[in-house]
C-alpha cells in the first residue's frame, strides 16, 4: 500500500491575481512502496489520458499549461482543466460543485473579501452540462475501483498579492513563499496520515537543487536525511515521532507523476476562477475593458486602463497588484 501525493503551483509570475499551490493524495492499495512511484496514467487508462483530443472521451490529466485553451477560441479555454478537476472532486470528495464558492470551499481555497472578488458566485460548470461531468466522474470512479486506488485529499493554498507584498517588505523571497506553502501542504498530508509514510512529489523550485535547510526549518524537531541530490531529483526522508515523510523535488514532475499534474490543474483552475471574478468586477465598471490573465505586460496595460477607477473607488492597490 502506497500513499502517493503531488504538489504544484500556478501563477508564480503574474502581477495580478493569486499564486496558487495545489496538492493531491492517492492511496494505491496494490503497490509496494519500495518499488517506486506507480504510473497512474497506466493504472487508470480506461478513464484518463494525457491528450485532450482523445477519441474515447477519456479525462485529460496533464500539466495545466498544456490543457488550458487559447483565450477567444470557440470552446471555453478552461474546459479540459475543469473536466479533470470536477471528475476527481466527485470521485474523491463526493462533491460536484455548482458554483466557484462550493469548489473553492471544498479545496480549502476560499475567496478574500476584496471588492474585486466579492461579487456573486460564478456558476459551474463553465463548459458543458452537469450531467456530462457526472458521466466522466462515474467513468473515473469505475477505473479507480478496478485499480484499487482511492483519492484521499485534494487541496489548494492561495497566496494573494498583499501576502506576497508583505513578504517582500520583510525581505522574504517569493520562491521561499511558494516553497513554504508546498511544505505546509506536505505537512498536512503527513499529519493526516502519521502511520502511513506518504511519498510526496513536488515540482522543482526553480534552479534550486538542495532543500535540506528548508525542510529543517519546516520540521525543526525532525531528522532530515538526504536520500539523493542530482540535477533532476532531490529526495529526503523526514523522520519524527509524529510520522515519516519522503519528499522528492523533481524537474518536470508533471510529466512523470499524475498526482503532480492534477495538482497543477487544481492550482490553475483555482487561479483562473479568481481572475474571472476580478475581470468581471472591473468590466462592470468599464464595459469596454479587455480582460487580463494578469501577466506582467498585459497586467500593466490593464492597470493603466483602470487607474482612474482604482482612484475613484479608493481601491487598495497593495492588495490588488504584486510589487515583486
Q: What is the C-alpha separation between 169 and 35, in angstroms, rounded? A: 45
State residue 220's pLDDT score.
94
Q: What is the C-alpha separation between 18 and 205, in angstroms, rounded? A: 18
pTM for this predicted structure? 0.96
Q: What is the C-alpha separation between 159 and 21, in angstroms, rounded? A: 8
State residue 183's pLDDT score.
97
Domain boundaries, the chain: 2-277
Can you tell me whether residue 157 is helix, strand or coil? strand
- The arrangement of secondary structure in 2-277, i.e. its CATH architecture, is 2-Layer Sandwich (3.30)
Q: What is the C-alpha separation between 36 and 165, in angstroms, rounded? A: 40
Asked if residues 40 and 258 have their Cβ atoms less than 8 Å apart, the reply is yes
Give the strands of the sheet with 223-229, arranged side by side. 149-159, 19-28, 2-10, 199-203, 243-250, 233-240, 223-229
Asked if residues 13 and 296 have their Cβ atoms less than 8 Å apart, the reply is yes
State residue 175's pLDDT score.
83
- Counting as low any pLDDT under 50, the low residues of the chain are none
Q: Write the DSSP assignment of 254-298 as a string of letters.
A: HHH-HHHHHHHHHHHHHHHHHHHHHHHHHHHHSTTPPP----HHH
All three cell numbers of 55, joined, read 477519441
State residue 2's pLDDT score.
94
Asked if residues 282 and 115 have their Cβ atoms less than 8 Å apart, the reply is no
State residue 296's pLDDT score.
95
State residue 72's pLDDT score.
66
Asked if residues 84 and 265 have their Cβ atoms less than 8 Å apart, the reply is yes
Amino acid at each position: 500500500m502506497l500513499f502517493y501525493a503531488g504538489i504544484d503551483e500556478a501563477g508564480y509570475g503574474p502581477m495580478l491575481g493569486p499564486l496558487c499551490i495545489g496538492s493531491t493524495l492517492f492511496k494505491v492499495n496494490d503497490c509496494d512502496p519500495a518499488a517506486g512511484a506507480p504510473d497512474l496514467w497506466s493504472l487508470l487508462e480506461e478513464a484518463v489520458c494525457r491528450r485532450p483530443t482523445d477519441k474515447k472521451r477519456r479525462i485529460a490529466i496533464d500539466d495545466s499549461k498544456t490543457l488550458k485553451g487559447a483565450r477567444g477560441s470557440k470552446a471555453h479555454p478552461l474546459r479540459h482543466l475543469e473536466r479533470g478537476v470536477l471528475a476527481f472532486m466527485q470521485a474523491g470528495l463526493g462533491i460536484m460543485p455548482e458554483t466557484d464558492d462550493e469548489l473553492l470551499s471544498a479545496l480549502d481555497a476560499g475567496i478574500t473579501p476584496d471588492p474585486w472578488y466579492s461579487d456573486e458566485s460564478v456558476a459551474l460548470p463553465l463548459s458543458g452540462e452537469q450531467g456530462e461531468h457526472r458521466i466522466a466522474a462515474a467513468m473515473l470512479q469505475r477505473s479507480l475501483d478496478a485499480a484499487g486506488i482511492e483519492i484521499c485529499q485534494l487541496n489548494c493554498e492561495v497566496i494573494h498579492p498583499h501576502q506576497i507584498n508583505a513578504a517582500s517588505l520583510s525581505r522574504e523571497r517569493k520562491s521561499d513563499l511558494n516553497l513554504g506553502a508546498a511544505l505546509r501542504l506536505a505537512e498536512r498530508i503527513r499529519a493526516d496520515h502519521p502511520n502511513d509514510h506518504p511519498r510526496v512529489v513536488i515540482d522543482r523550485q526553480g534552479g534550486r537543487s538542495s532543500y535540506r535547510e528548508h525542510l529543517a526549518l519546516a520540521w525543526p524537531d525532525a531528522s532530515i536525511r538526504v536520500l539523493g541530490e542530482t540535477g533532476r531529483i532531490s529526495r529526503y526522508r523526514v523522520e519524527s515521532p509524529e510520522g515519516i515523510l519522503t519528499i522528492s523535488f523533481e524537474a518536470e514532475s508533471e510529466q512523470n507523476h499524475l498526482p503532480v499534474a492534477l495538482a497543477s490543474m487544481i492550482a490553475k483552475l483555482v487561479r483562473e476562477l479568481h481572475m474571472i471574478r476580478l475581470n468581471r468586477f472591473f468590466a462592470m465598471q468599464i464595459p469596454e475593458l479587455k480582460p487580463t490573465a494578469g501577466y506582467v505586460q498585459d497586467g500593466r496595460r490593464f492597470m493603466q486602463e483602470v487607474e482612474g477607477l482604482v482612484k475613484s473607488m479608493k481601491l487598495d492597490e497593495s492588495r490588488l497588484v504584486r510589487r515583486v
